[in-house]
Every structure is written in structure tokens, then in C-alpha cells.
Chains A and B, each alone.
Chain A
Amino acid sequence: MNGNPQVYLSSVGTALPGDPVDNAELARVLGANEEWIEVFIGTRTRHFARDLTTGEVRWSLADLCAQAADRAVRAAQVAPEDIEFVVLGTATPDTLMPATVNNVVDQLGLDQVPTFQLQSGCAGAVQALSLGRTLIASGEYRTGLVIGGDVCSKHLDIKRDLTKAAPSDLVNFVLFGDGAGAAVLTDEPSGERVALRHVLNRFTGLGRKPGQVIEWFGLADRHDDRQALTEDYKAIEEQVPVMAVEILWELLGELDWDADDLDYLLPPQLSGRMTRKITEQLDVPTATEISCVADTGNNGNALPFLQIERLLEKMTDGQKALAVAIESSKWIKAGFALERI
């Protein structure tokens, strides 16, 4: 990166499918305990791409990503033809092939652009930002689109009765939601005029058991009796707060910012309850917390964009924000810093 040119975030767009689903409705459909969801998950509403009563799929991941991307491009006031690359981070592609990013680009009416899809959980959006930033900083591209999105409801089996389910099983049904977000990155200030000061993306899982596993099934193993989604909640509860604090301080150290300099903090969005807990540990009382998970559910790679969207409503010139994200699958540390100029 010659001279390390600055990269800017020009706009953000997001997409949440359908109406919010509250705990009462979710509890009714799944046979779960509403109070349990409120107390132990702390998430109030979420959105699903799948109809909760019929199970019918109403939006694909590509639909949601294209919607968010379209909004971002319009907001950035750049012509679609100016988009020189598209990066998508997701853990839940519609199909393994074609990669969903290509269907998104197709829906956007773009052609002849480099596309990248990053297979990643909660760090995917940050990885997309990291790659987008590197591409622009390389000098080869000037404008690009980064997208994050997930459709978790693929695993929301509404036919299951969860009355007797263990919490580790239950949580998978009430934690997640669907959604997508996108941002336009540029090499000079425009639109929202937010500088992307730093991006952290680091694997720290050497020798550590995954905290989260999502299986995929093919013709040969589709009848295997494996749980599609497993999480080591104990490890996550123990490790994520520690990692979050380290990410915060590493970013601050890299940027040579004091914690007091921060106007906003975008903490990891695991669930309403966990995010509250982590924010307490991050302990930056001077910064305003920007969270969304209690309203949107954990929709994976859409979250950072949903947070940025909320941030931009408040952020004024010269203000600084720092985001922390953690992918507990194989313990990936991620984060980024924004400054409105």
C-alpha cells in the first residue's frame, strides 16, 4: 500500500425481511418460554426471511443483499457502473455455487466486475471491509461495494416442538434473525464522509476448539444425525468478553487514540443480554453504545452495517467510533474504527 491512501465510507444500506417477530409470537410458534427468551437471550424482536407460520421462503440471501446494496449505492449517489468491485461476507450462502455475491451483482444489473465472497460468520462483514479497504488502498480501484448478510432461518425448523429442548438447543432458535447490509467505499470523502481508519481481522484460534459450528450437508450425508448448528455457549460467554476488551485496546493502541476520545462504541452483537454484558466489560463510559441486536436479532454479517446505519444518524463531524466483532467459530478477532471528517 503505497503511502497508505485513506479509504472512506460513503454510504450504508440495510435490509431486514418482513415485519419484526416478537418473543410472544416466537414462543407461540416454537413452544418456547417467552420469559426465558427475555431473561436469558434479551432479544426483543427479529426478522425472518421465511414465513413463520407456513415455513415458506420469502426472500433469499441474494434478495436481501441486493436490496441493501441497492440502497447503499443510491445513498452514495454513485452510478452503479462506478462500482468497481463487490465483496460479500456471509456464513449462509443461498447455494455453494454460484457464490451468492454473483447473484447479488446480477440483481444489481452490474457486469464485468471483480467479485469476492468471504465464507465467514460474525467477522465476515469486517473481513469484507478489510478486503475492500485493501483493494482501494492498493490504488487499483476507487469505488467498491462491501456487503454482509445472513439468512439464519434456514435452520429455523418451525415443525419442531421445543417445549422440552435443552437451552443449548433452544438458543439456536431464538438468538438469530435474517438481514443484510452494505456500504460503498471510496478513495475520497463523499456522501457520509466517514473515514475508515483501521480494520482488524485476525485468526486467534490456534489449537482451540471451535465455539460455533454450522454443518452443511450433501447427498452423501444429508441423513446424518448431526446437529446443523452447535455452539459452545460456555466458551463463548467466557472468551468473547475477554477478546472484546483486547480488540478494543489493540485498535486504540494502533490508532493511538485514548478511550476518552471515543464518541461511539459498536460492541459485538451476540444477543441483547450478552451484548449488555460485553459492553459493561468494555467499560468506555464516555462513548455512546450503538447496538441493534435486541431489535434485529443476531443476523450475523448484517449486524455491523445495521450498527453503522444507526451510528450515522448520530455521528457529527470529527466524531470517532470504534467497532468490535468476534467470530467465535474459530475465534476470529475483528474490529474497525470510523471517523467522520
Chain B
Amino acid sequence: MDRIAIVGIDCTFPGAPDTGAYWDLLMRSGDGIGTVPEQRWAAREFHSPTPAEGRANTTQGGFIDDPDAFDNEFFTISPREAAAMDPQQRLLLQCSWRAVEDAGLAPHELAGSATGVFVGIMGNEWAQLHLTDYDHVTAQAGSGNGYCMTANRISYHLDLKGPSLAVDTACSSSLVAVHLAGNALLSGECDYAIAAGVNVAVTPALSIFYTQAGLSAPDGRCKPYSAQADGIGRGEGVGAVVLRRLEDALADGQQVYAVIRGTAVNQDGRSNGLTAPNRWAQQDVIGAAYRRAGVDPADIAFTEGHGTGTALGDMMEVAALGHHHAGRSGRPMALGSVKGNLGHTEGAAGIAGLIKVALALDHRTVPASRFAVKENERLALRKKGLRLLKAPLRLPRGTALAGLSSFGMGGTNAHAVLESAPPEAARPARESADGPTGIGTALFTLTAPAPEALRRNLNAQADALAARRAPAGAVGWTSHRVKTGHRYRFAVSAPDTDTLVGRLRAAAADPDLLARLTGVGGTARTAFLFTGQGSQYPRMTAGLYQESPLYRRFLDEADDALLPHTGRSVRDLILTGDEEVHLTRWAQPALFAVGWALGRTLGELGVEPDLLLGHSVGEYAAACLAGVFPLDDAARLIAARGELMQQLPDGGGMLAVLAGREELAERLAEEPEVGIAVVNGPRATVLSGDLMALQRIDKELDRDRIRTRMLRVSHAFHSYLMEPMLEKFAEVARDVGGVPRLPLYSTLYGRVLDDEPMDADYWVAHVRRPVLFADAAAQLLAAGPTHTVEVGPSPVLSSMIRKLPPPASGARPAAVAPVRGADSTGRDLADGLAELYRGGLTPRWEAAYEERERTPYRMMPYVFSDEHRYWARGGPVRARHDAPVPELPRPAAEKTPEKTAKTGKTTKTARPAEKTAGPAATGVLTLERPAPTDPVSEAVLEAIGQVGGYGTDELGPYLRLYEDLGFDSVMVMELKNRIEERLPALAALTVQDLLPRLASVGDLVDFLREHCATRPATEERTA
């Protein structure tokens, strides 16, 4: 049986801005229902508790926050186009992006693939508003509306080339979309599919329709299968899942929320009414899904029902389920519906249910179903083998099965059977890499299209990572895979998650630091600099060796190659801290081993040299890595070189002089036993030769106030004193060496090699002749590397290069030092890698992590900007004023503020949308201001003002005492006393009388006004 894996999820529902919040809402049995936001329509104008034409019986519903926010810049959509787009399109775009990230994929990775997009949608209210405003129908309005565009936009912006279509089967739309997506995957039409659903309510039309059809709950809440059920409440939402064939997901080691085992779709046909639910068709579709999934109904642990909470709908649905479950063995099947929390999210209802089931299977807990406690006894659930989820249900170990229903108003029914993801043990073992990998320290990388976006996302990641323990390796590994593809490249090493959180927060808070840790990519051109003799020290790179299996692998390999020639393990010599590492015999092979192993480590990490340069003996590792000779030949040569030099008699020395070579050449004319050995810079030269002669020169230079330093060396390298070994060395070097395959800057010639072999002649001359580092390095700089990478135990060449004149054109390269010194560990290598990443290099991340670290981790998906807001051009939908509406003053605030209260940014609609923090800024609320003041309201306002510290002009009647004005029970006690002082007639009033009437200022005023009005009459009678 072919199965579909749900690998990525993202959603926004009422009271739940993201997937985590959605699960939290479900587990809290939270209520996402509230008053129709002012932005949508003037709900009071359309409200009539009693049946009336053009009126709805409720002002409540499930509304998502910020439907107007859209990060158009992220998708490079112009403000004008964004403003014309149906918010459903905008929300889907952001939601799909996040769902793909949640699947552990960089959305760019899917670009160009045959990924399918299937969107369930039934509301077209934006188009109804904007495409009927004929004077304003623009090109943007055309592409900004229409069902097809919801799916096609996603395909366009993510560059997905599989099937892309919108599905409208009314309330079952998004589950039908999931069904089609699954079929497309199973038929091989695509390898990935995004299935989504969306519903944003812009007009009261459906609320009025539900009311007129007798289906609308007066409190705007669906109460599925409850004795309290009294109809439908509308809800909004957007949700997307990323689907794959299960075997592909498992083969890729992808995380799986849940598995779709089978889906089915059918139609009522000519039933007893176009819009009436049909028990027989529902029964059939459920049965078909069970068959397709190959499950026994008795094995289904729970079902997420359609559950609109209408008398007929609930009745039909449980009858259909009962057909399959009555008489089942074991416990009755648990039943619930998320509509109790969100309302009926219509086009998004199927996806809301699917996500709930997937999360429940993933968490192995099914949330309680809101309103289930007061079970509708008339449904006789027990007899039908059903029970309501009155409390959360823990799923037992092992595979759990679940059902999911979604039924469309026009009679298109859908059902799905899901099961929990296969356990880790049942997954195919992943192939292991060629050899050990890992550098010992994780990195964290994140990209964003703009610095502000970067900052926002760094903060979001810090918060998410701080909330739950997470292994740094898995976080880093995932960050490289998912958070890639944008211009601004942030990278830091992440030794552990706590340190990472601290670094993310620090970077987000400090623009300078953020700038240092962020690059804008480009193409990294690296120059590898291999250090020469003198840079060695005991235990060099020991920290890295200990932490990094990758480096360990290569140092061991170098040691194996050297051992036949050195007779003693150079690696052990280094790691045990033996001071003999300073002896030429050991120093040369040891430096070669470290240089070669570091170079190979970097290569495995994807850091390949574009240019190479080795300082003197460092040239061996450079040449070997440039393909001049194989490791074994290099090992033989360098061991012999060190050994032969070691055997030379003492008596030579070297003197570093702060002077240029021309200046010194004159002095040396008289001293045949001393010569220039090294040219490190324009004013940095090393002399080499007979010790007595050197001391003589040193004195002379001292007299002329030229600074010198006698080097602690055993021999006079690169001098005539080397001559006795040349012949033997030439013998060893016979037949080795070819032409380097990469641009190699020779310190023998002081320039890049031009198709010249590095053969025995070369290496013999290399022993005797001076090291023209400054010349070679200057030419290397002129070739324009973006980074120098110091391949050796300490960064000495980088600082020499800094003293050279800058290249004629372009900037100096950034210096990267994978090993900084004796304390270096994997962290320095990671920092170096981070620097290169910022510079545009994409490392081979597989090599940077150990096999066990390369596991996916669900990171917080991209956090979009909510700075830009776009909403309906005409403002909130209002009732027509020729219709019989209650007499109300016109809103005073037609001239709405140009700024949104939340962000302070101008919105980019023709008529700016309002995002109000408090209700004070909206016009409609002024409707509720009491007309003329009277003594009671005056007294109450004064009392409230006094207790709460407000001016009476600040106190609108709509303000809620507890939520808006911050009252608490102590303040209420005081308020009562204050009111009494002003209105002695109220003395008999108790706190208990007052408590139920403290919802809002207006509420309290009304209550006290009534009370005062009745009061004198009573007194008269008693008098």
C-alpha cells in the first residue's frame, strides 16, 4: 500500500498564529472565537438577534490576527500588486514557504522541481468587493483575485512546476485538495506536493446566509456533538502541509508528522436537497477510505469529525460513523472536532482537521474536543460505538490510526485515514559516509533578504532555541540545509545551544556585531598559505585532533605515510608534546603532516584552494595538495630533507633584519659566508650563513640602528652551508614531482609557476636558494583572492601579508585561521568556516558534522515582516443605509489615521488599513459614545478615573474594566466606595450586585442608571 508522509506543516488559526500555538490552543481547549474585528465589517450594523432580512444573528466568529500583514518585499511583490491581492493569496504564500522550511527543505531547493500545489478554497469575498468596483479594476486586481491564483502564485513564487490548482468543493475543499495531492504523488506526477487550505472572511455574506438558512449559532461558536449545539460559527484560517511518498521521506531521513494511509472522495448525488447532508454518502466515503487504507474500522482510535454543530449535520455524521463502528470490540472510537475551538473554517476546515490529526499522532495525544462534556444524548453515541473526547486521550505505544472527515455543502464528501509515523527503528539505516567526519564544533547559518529580516529571524531563532533543549549539531546541520538562499549570510560557530542563543541575541542587538557576522556572499576565492619552519610547537593542533574526527582521519593518514621514512610516529611526537618537534629532523615532517592534514580537512569541507603558497618547507604540503606528487612521495622527500639537514654540522645561524634586501646586499658584498635566505617583506629579510660572520654583521647593523633578531635555528637554511646535503637529496628526489594542477606561487622563483615542474632540480634549488616570500605573496595578492586561509599551526603568514603593500586593485583579502594557536580546537576551524561562508563559500556541510549529528531538527520557520499592511480599499463593509438599520450616528473617523498604530508605518492601500492596538483609533467605536452626559455616567466616569488614574475624557464606554483599564478586585472595592460617595442613593448596592455588570464602562453606567431610575420610586413607596 502506498502511503503519503506529512513532512512539513504551517498554519495560522484564530488564537493561534503558528503551528506550536495551534497545538497549545487545542491542548488548552482554548477558544479562538471573538467579536468580528472592526476591519472586516460593521458587525453590529448587520446584527439582528431575531430573524431579519440581510441580517446575521451573531457578531462573533473565529478570526485570525493580522490578515492584512504581508511581507511583499520578501517575495519582491510591489506594494501596488500586494494591495490588490486577495489576502488569502498572501497568507498562502507565506504559509507555504514556512511549511516547506518546516519539512527541512530550503524552498529554493524545490525551485524548478515538479512539485504540485493543491489549494482548497471556497471564499472569494475579496473579489466580490474589489472586482465589482469597476472603476478600480486594474491589472493587479485581476491577478490578485480568483481561486486559481492562490495555487498558481505559490507555484510562481517558489518556481514549482508540478500540477497547480485550486479546489472548491465548499467546506470539504482542503481535504479534497489533500486527496488530489496524494493521488498526484502516488501516480508519480510529482515528488513533493503542497496541500493547503485558506479562508478569510471579508464580508458578512456567509454569516447572513447561515442565519437565513437557520444554521448560524448566535454566539458564533460551533459546538460539535454537544447538547448545546445551536449552529455554525464562521472561522478563518490558513494551513499548508508538505506531502511526500512515505518511502522517499524515510529514505531521506526526513521527519514525518504522520502518514496518510488512504483518502476517498464522493458525492451525495441527487439526495434530498442540494445542501442537505447525506448520511448514506458519508457512510460510503468513510467505508471507501477504510478500504483504500486497508484498515479495520475497529482499529481506528479516534476520528476528527466534520462536527459543524448543527442538529442535522451532527446527526447524519454520527449515523454514518455508527454504521462502521457500532458493535466494535474494545473501547468506543473517540470523536471530536476542532470546530469547537475555531468555528467552521470553511475552505480551510479540512486542513485544520488534517493538521490537528497529524499533530495528535505526532504528540501521541489527542486533544479534548471543546463542548464535548455536554454530550448531545440524542446522538446515542455509545450505541454507535462512539464516544466524545471529553478529556485528552493518550495514544498507546505502537501504530495509532485515525480518521478525518470533511463534508462539503454541495454534497462532496471526503474522508482520510491517517496513522502515526513509523518508529525510528523501522526506518532504513542511512548509508555511512566514506570515513569519519565532523570538526567538533557546530555552526549556525541563517540567510535573509535584508538586514532587518536577518535581525528579526535571529531573534526568533534565539527565542525558539532557548525554549527547548536542542542539540547544537542537529540545529546547525538543519540551519545549513533550510536557512539558505538569501543575500545576507549570517554565520557563527555554535559550540552548544546556550552559547548559540547568546550569540544570536547579541548579534541581533548590536548592529556592528551583526555586520561583522554577516556577509553578502559573492564568490569566495581562497588562497591557502602553508606555514614554514619556526611555526611548529609541541602539541600543535592537538585540540583539533581530539575534537575533530575529520582532522584525525587526515593526520593519521599523513602519519601512516611518514612512518616508513621517519621510523617514529610524527603524530605521537606532536600530540605527546615532545620538545623534539623543534629539531629539524622532526619539525619538517611534523609541519608537513599538519599542513597536509589541515589542507585535506579543508578540502573535505568544501574549502578548495584557488591559489596556493607555501613558505619554504610549507611548499611541500602545498605542492602535494596541488597534485605535484602523491602523499607517499611527499612523505619520503620531507623526511629525507629534515634528516639530511639535521645531519649537517653545526656552526650556521640565521639573522632576521628589519631592512630591505637591496640595502643589505651592499653590506653582504664583503661577506661571502652570509647570504640572503628569506625575503619576507620590503623591510623584512633573513640572513643565513656562518655564525661568526652573522655576528659581525649584526654588530654593524646595530651600530646603524637597524633592528635585528638572531633566530633560534640549528642550521643556516637556504645558505651555502646546505650544499653538503644537496647531492644526497637530489638522489632522493629523483623522478618525483610534476606540474601543479592549481596556481601555485613559488617562493623559489617569487612568482606563480607557469606550467613548470616541481621536480628534483626544483626541490634541490629550493633548499639552497632564498625564500622569495614577499615576491610570491605580492603576486598572489595581485591575483585577487578574497580570503587567505592559513594552513598551519599558527597564523604567521597572514600577518606577514598584512605588511605587504595592498594589491593594486581590490581590497585586501580577509584572513582565515583555522588554527590560531596552542589552545585551538574545532571552534577555530568552525569560526574560519563561518568566515568563508559569509564570504560566499558554501561548505560541504556533511563533512563538518559527525554522522549522528546529521539529523533533521524542526526549526522555527522564517518569520515574515508584518510591517506592511494591505486591506480592503473601501474600508470595512457596512450595511446599506437605506436598509432598516437602527438609527446610528455616522462614524466620525472616515478620515482614518495615515499610520497604523502597531508599526507606525504607512500602509500601502489606497485607503490605509487600520491596525489598532486599542480600539480608540477606530471610527466605528465612536458610535458607542454615550450621547448627552447625565449625572450617573458623570459620577461613574469620575469614580473610575479616580481609582484607575484616568482622565474622564479617556474613558469610552467600550473600554473593559479589567482588560483595558487594568482594574483588579481591590480597585473594584474602592470603585464601589467612590461611586457611593457620589451617588448616595446606591448605598444599598453590594459588591456582588456590581460584579456581574463590570464588563465595560458602558455596561456599568447602564446598570447604575437603571438602578438610580428605579431607586427613588422605591424610596417613595417605603417613605
In angstroms, Cα B990 to Cα A35, docked, is 10
A171 vs chain B, min Cβ distance (A): 9
* Identity of the chain A residue whose Cβ is nearest the Cβ of B387 in the assembled complex: A253
Q: A242-B28, A242-B29 are in contact. Are A166 and B970 (CB under 8 A)?
A: yes
Establish whether residues A168 and B28, one from each chain, have CB atoms under 8 Å apart when the complex forms: no
Closest 5 CB pairs of A and B: A249-B390, A250-B391, A246-B391, A249-B391, A40-B969
In angstroms, Cα B20 to Cα A245, docked, is 24
In angstroms, Cα B970 to Cα A208, docked, is 28
In angstroms, Cα B992 to Cα A245, docked, is 26
In angstroms, Cα B468 to Cα A336, docked, is 32
In angstroms, Cα B24 to Cα A239, docked, is 12
> A283 near B: Cβ within 8 Å?
yes
> A122 near B: Cβ within 8 Å?
no
Q: What is the size, in residues, of chain A's interface with B at 8 Å between Cβ atoms?
A: 24
B379 vs chain A, min Cβ distance (A): 16
Establish whether residues A166 and B24, one from each chain, have CB atoms under 8 Å apart when the complex forms: no
| Neighbour of A167 across the interface among B28, B467, B970, B991, CB < 8 A | B970
> B392 near A: Cβ within 8 Å?
yes
Establish whether residues A253 and B391, one from each chain, have CB atoms under 8 Å apart when the complex forms: yes
Could you tell me which residues of chain A, from 302 to 340, have a CB within 8 Å of some CB in chain B?
A: none
In angstroms, Cα B387 to Cα A33, docked, is 48
Establish whether residues B373 and A249, one from each chain, have CB atoms under 8 Å apart when the complex forms: yes
In angstroms, Cα B392 to Cα A248, docked, is 11
Could you tell me which residues of chain B, from 382 to 399, have a CB within 8 Å of some CB in chain A?
A: 387, 390-392
A and B contact pairs by CB, cutoff 8 A, 5 listed = A33-B970, A35-B991, A207-B24, A248-B391, A249-B373
> B368 near A: Cβ within 8 Å?
yes
> B755 near A: Cβ within 8 Å?
no
> A170 near B: Cβ within 8 Å?
yes
In angstroms, Cα B391 to Cα A207, docked, is 19
> B968 near A: Cβ within 8 Å?
yes
Binary A-proximity of B965-992 (CB < 8 A = 1, otherwise 0): 0001110010000000000000000011
> A216 near B: Cβ within 8 Å?
no
In angstroms, Cα B995 to Cα A39, docked, is 10
8 further A-B pairs in the complex, CB-CB below 8 A; given A36-B970, A39-B973: A39-B969, A165-B970, A167-B970, A242-B29, A245-B373, A246-B29, A246-B392, A253-B387
> A72 near B: Cβ within 8 Å?
no
Binary B-proximity of A140-166 (CB < 8 A = 1, otherwise 0): 000000000000000000000000011
* Identity of the chain A residue whose Cβ is nearest the Cβ of B391 in the assembled complex: A250
Contacting residues, chain A, for B374 (C-beta < 8 A): 283
| Neighbour of A246 across the interface among B24, B390, B468, B968, CB < 8 A | B390
B1019 vs chain A, min Cβ distance (A): 24
Contacting residues, chain A, for B991 (C-beta < 8 A): 35, 39
Establish whether residues B391 and A36, one from each chain, have CB atoms under 8 Å apart when the complex forms: no
Could you tell me which residues of chain A, from 56 to 109, have a CB within 8 Å of some CB in chain B?
A: none
Binary B-proximity of A155-190 (CB < 8 A = 1, otherwise 0): 000000000011110100000000000000000000
B164 vs chain A, min Cβ distance (A): 36
In angstroms, Cα B23 to Cα A204, docked, is 13
Contacting residues, chain A, for B992 (C-beta < 8 A): 39
> A12 near B: Cβ within 8 Å?
no
Binary A-proximity of B387-430 (CB < 8 A = 1, otherwise 0): 10011100000000000000000000000000000000000000
In angstroms, Cα B371 to Cα A283, docked, is 13
B911 vs chain A, min Cβ distance (A): 37
Contacting residues, chain A, for B390 (C-beta < 8 A): 245-246, 249-250, 252-253
Binary A-proximity of B760-793 (CB < 8 A = 1, otherwise 0): 0000000000000000000000000000000000
| Neighbour of B973 across the interface among A33, A242, A250, A283, CB < 8 A | A33
Contacting residues, chain A, for B467 (C-beta < 8 A): 207
* Identity of the chain A residue whose Cβ is nearest the Cβ of B30 in the assembled complex: A242
> A128 near B: Cβ within 8 Å?
no
In angstroms, Cα B976 to Cα A35, docked, is 12
B977 vs chain A, min Cβ distance (A): 10
Establish whether residues B969 and A247, one from each chain, have CB atoms under 8 Å apart when the complex forms: no
Q: A166-B970, A167-B970 are in contact. Are A250 and B392 (CB under 8 A)?
A: yes
For B373, B391, B467, the residue with the greatest tally of chain A CB atoms inside 10 Å of its CB is B391
| Neighbour of B968 across the interface among A166, A204, A242, A248, CB < 8 A | A166
Establish whether residues A167 and B391, one from each chain, have CB atoms under 8 Å apart when the complex forms: no
In angstroms, Cα B387 to Cα A252, docked, is 12
Establish whether residues A35 and B391, one from each chain, have CB atoms under 8 Å apart when the complex forms: no
In angstroms, Cα B369 to Cα A253, docked, is 14
Establish whether residues A35 and B973, one from each chain, have CB atoms under 8 Å apart when the complex forms: yes
Could you tell me which residues of chain A, from 242 to 279, have a CB within 8 Å of some CB in chain B?
A: 242, 245-250, 252-253
In angstroms, Cα B973 to Cα A35, docked, is 9
B333 vs chain A, min Cβ distance (A): 13
* Identity of the chain B residue whose Cβ is nearest the Cβ of A246 in the assembled complex: B391
Q: A249-B390, A253-B387 are in contact. Are A167 and B969 (CB under 8 A)?
A: yes
A326 vs chain B, min Cβ distance (A): 13
B993 vs chain A, min Cβ distance (A): 11
B678 vs chain A, min Cβ distance (A): 59
B740 vs chain A, min Cβ distance (A): 58
In angstroms, Cα B639 to Cα A113, docked, is 73
Could you tell me which residues of chain B, from 682 to 738, have a CB within 8 Å of some CB in chain A?
A: none
Could you tell me which residues of chain A, from 34 to 51, have a CB within 8 Å of some CB in chain B?
A: 35-36, 39-40
Contacting residues, chain B, for A204 (C-beta < 8 A): 27, 392
Establish whether residues B969 and A246, one from each chain, have CB atoms under 8 Å apart when the complex forms: no
In angstroms, Cα B973 to Cα A242, docked, is 28
A23 vs chain B, min Cβ distance (A): 14
B388 vs chain A, min Cβ distance (A): 9
* Identity of the chain A residue whose Cβ is nearest the Cβ of B468 in the assembled complex: A207
Could you tell me which residues of chain A, from 184 to 231, have a CB within 8 Å of some CB in chain B?
A: 204, 207-208
* Identity of the chain B residue whose Cβ is nearest the Cβ of A258 in the assembled complex: B382
In angstroms, Cα B28 to Cα A283, docked, is 19
In angstroms, Cα B968 to Cα A36, docked, is 11
A323 vs chain B, min Cβ distance (A): 15
Contacting residues, chain B, for A33 (C-beta < 8 A): 970, 973
Could you tell me which residues of chain B, from 945 to 974, have a CB within 8 Å of some CB in chain A?
A: 968-970, 973
In angstroms, Cα B998 to Cα A39, docked, is 15
B949 vs chain A, min Cβ distance (A): 14
Contacting residues, chain A, for B20 (C-beta < 8 A): 207
Contacting residues, chain A, for B28 (C-beta < 8 A): 239, 242
Could you tell me which residues of chain B, from 3 to 35, have a CB within 8 Å of some CB in chain A?
A: 20, 24, 27-29
Establish whether residues B969 and A36, one from each chain, have CB atoms under 8 Å apart when the complex forms: yes
In angstroms, Cα B391 to Cα A242, docked, is 10
A41 vs chain B, min Cβ distance (A): 9
In angstroms, Cα B394 to Cα A246, docked, is 13
Could you tell me which residues of chain B, from 345 to 379, have a CB within 8 Å of some CB in chain A?
A: 368, 373-374
* Identity of the chain B residue whose Cβ is nearest the Cβ of A32 in the assembled complex: B970
Could you tell me which residues of chain A, from 270 to 296, have a CB within 8 Å of some CB in chain B?
A: 283
In angstroms, Cα B20 to Cα A168, docked, is 30
Contacting residues, chain B, for A252 (C-beta < 8 A): 390
In angstroms, Cα B42 to Cα A34, docked, is 45
In angstroms, Cα B615 to Cα A152, docked, is 75
In angstroms, Cα B374 to Cα A137, docked, is 35
Contacting residues, chain B, for A245 (C-beta < 8 A): 373, 390-391
In angstroms, Cα B968 to Cα A40, docked, is 10
* Identity of the chain B residue whose Cβ is nearest the Cβ of A250 in the assembled complex: B391
Could you tell me which residues of chain A, from 3 to 52, have a CB within 8 Å of some CB in chain B?
A: 33, 35-36, 39-40
In angstroms, Cα B967 to Cα A166, docked, is 11
* Identity of the chain B residue whose Cβ is nearest the Cβ of A40 in the assembled complex: B969
Establish whether residues B968 and A283, one from each chain, have CB atoms under 8 Å apart when the complex forms: no
Contacting residues, chain A, for B27 (C-beta < 8 A): 204
Contacting residues, chain A, for B970 (C-beta < 8 A): 33, 36, 165-167, 170
In angstroms, Cα B391 to Cα A247, docked, is 7
* Identity of the chain B residue whose Cβ is nearest the Cβ of A168 in the assembled complex: B968
Could you tell me which residues of chain B, from 993 to 1009, have a CB within 8 Å of some CB in chain A?
A: 995
Q: A242-B28, A249-B373 are in contact. Are A167 and B392 (CB under 8 A)?
A: no
A120 vs chain B, min Cβ distance (A): 21
In angstroms, Cα B368 to Cα A246, docked, is 8
For B28, B374, B387, the residue with the greatest tally of chain A CB atoms inside 10 Å of its CB is B28
For B374, B467, B969, the residue with the greatest tally of chain A CB atoms inside 10 Å of its CB is B969
